Amino acid sequence: MVGVMASNTSKAIWGDDAYEWKPERWLSPLPSTVSDAHIPGIYSNLMTFLGGGRACIGFKFSQLEMKVVLSLLLSKFTFELSDKPIMWNVGGVRYPTMGKDGRKPQMLLKVGLIKGSV
């Protein structure tokens, strides 16, 4: 059994901010702890798509799909984080909720329409 979440959020590998989503992390050289870990993932030193002979065969398709959807959404809408704190829960998969007592997945995001985009 592979601990994908444990590998992707290991403080020993990624540092004290391992649980924070920081896309800028990949804009500069990654710390030596990442390369020294020899993570067998096929994308960005992460195990999200696994690696080796059991790697996800659809990972390139999923990347393409995400890029198409994002290009459409970002051209029509504005996105802003809510002021409310986001708590990440684990129940098979990680999901965001508002506060510790949240039982239903929620995405605390303010979405607005870009003028003239409709």
In this structure, the answer to whether residues 51 and 82 fall within a common structural domain is: no
Residue 9 has which token pair? 């959020």
Whether 93 is in a domain gets the answer yes
| pLDDT at residue 118 in the model | 67
Domain that holds residue 22: 1-57
How many domains, the chain? 2
pTM over 0.75, yes/no: no
pLDDT tens-digit profile of 36-70?
888 887 677 777 787 777 788 888 899 999 999 99
Shared domain for 47 and 88, answered yes or no, is no
Shared domain for 13 and 53, answered yes or no, is: yes
pLDDT at 2 (0 to 100): 62
pLDDT in tens, 92-109: 777 788 766 667 777 788
Residues 83 and 52 both lie in one domain:
no
95: Cβ contacts below 8 Å, ≥ 6 apart: 88, 89, 105
